[in-house]
């Protein structure tokens, strides 16, 4: 899986309001699907979606996401129910279409990991 997601190290990304809304949607899908029910507190990747700086601050904060976060996310996605993965993919893919630069790369990483 790392070979597929190896391009996913993203440094200093600033998410738009629309992408922060998409992150909130993914968080809700994850909660509703219970895909991280036991591992949420132990997987550092959860910071990608749980960090308050992504969705709640007025001033955009730079976010650094390392490759190992994506490897963990992809493994978690593989253990999730197909319908949950599909819902996350739809949110991420739509964002991938309407964004550019690092923000698009972030959305592509999420959509690829959730396929």
Domain spans in the chain, listed from the N-terminal domain onward: 2-113
Q: What integer pLDDT is reported at residue 30 of this predicted model?
A: 79
Q: Which residues are registered as beta bridge partners of 63?
A: 13
CA end-to-end distance (rounded Å), the chain = 11
Q: What is the pLDDT of residue 98?
A: 93
Burial (0-12, 13-18, 19+ Cβ within 10 Å), 68: middle
Measured on CA atoms in the order 98, 99, 105, 106, is the torsion positive or negative? Answer: negative
Q: In which residue are the tokens 């593989």 written?
A: 78
Confidence (pLDDT) at 42: 44
pLDDT of res. 77: 72
Task: For the chain, list residues with pLDDT below 70.
Answer: 1-7, 34-69, 80
pTM of the model: 0.63
Torsion on CA atoms 68, 98, 60, 62, rounded to nearest 10: 30
């Amino acid at each position: 899986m790392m070979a597929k997601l190896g391009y996913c190290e993203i440094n200093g990304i600033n998410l738009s309001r629309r992408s922060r809304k998409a992150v909130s949607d993914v968080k809700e899908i994850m909660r509703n699907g219970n895909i991280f029910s036991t591992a949420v507190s132990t997987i550092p990747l959860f910071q990608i979606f749980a960090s308050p700086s992504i969705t709640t601050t007025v001033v955009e904060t730079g976010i650094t996401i390392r490759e190992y976060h994506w490897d963990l996310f992809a493994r978690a996605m593989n253990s999730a129910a197909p319908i949950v993965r599909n819902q996350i993919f739809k949110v991420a893919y739509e964002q991938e279409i309407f964004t550019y630069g690092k923000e698009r790369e972030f959305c592509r990483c999420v959509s690829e990991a959730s396929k």
